[in-house]
Amino acid sequence: MSNIEMIPVVSSNIESIGYDDSNQRVLVKFLNGTIYAYIGVPIHEFENLRDAPSLGSYLHRNYKNIYPYERVE
């Protein structure tokens, strides 16, 4: 996981996001320090999240209940 570049974001809930191209995983680090990995996410969907006006809303609408995820930290 340490080889994944995390991009700081402006959000009331999310600290940073990152994309693992080789495994199609999106990492989301929340302000409370927890990190979740969403699995099987295509690059364009990560770019949509990165560019969304509200990352939290976009994540809730387009990731939860769509992509499997796990808490990694």
Host domain of residue 15? 6-71
1 occurs within a structural domain: no
| In the block, residue with structure tokens 């409370």 | 32
Instruction: Please enumerate, as own/partner, the contacts of 64-68 that have beta carbons within 8 Å and a separation of 24 or more.
Output: 67/26, 67/38, 67/39, 67/40, 67/41, 68/38, 68/39, 68/40
15 occurs within a structural domain: yes
pLDDT in tens, the chain (73 residues): 558 999 999 999 999 999 999 999 999 999 999 999 999 999 999 999 999 999 999 999 999 999 999 999 8
Number of independent structural domains in the chain: 1
pTM: 0.93
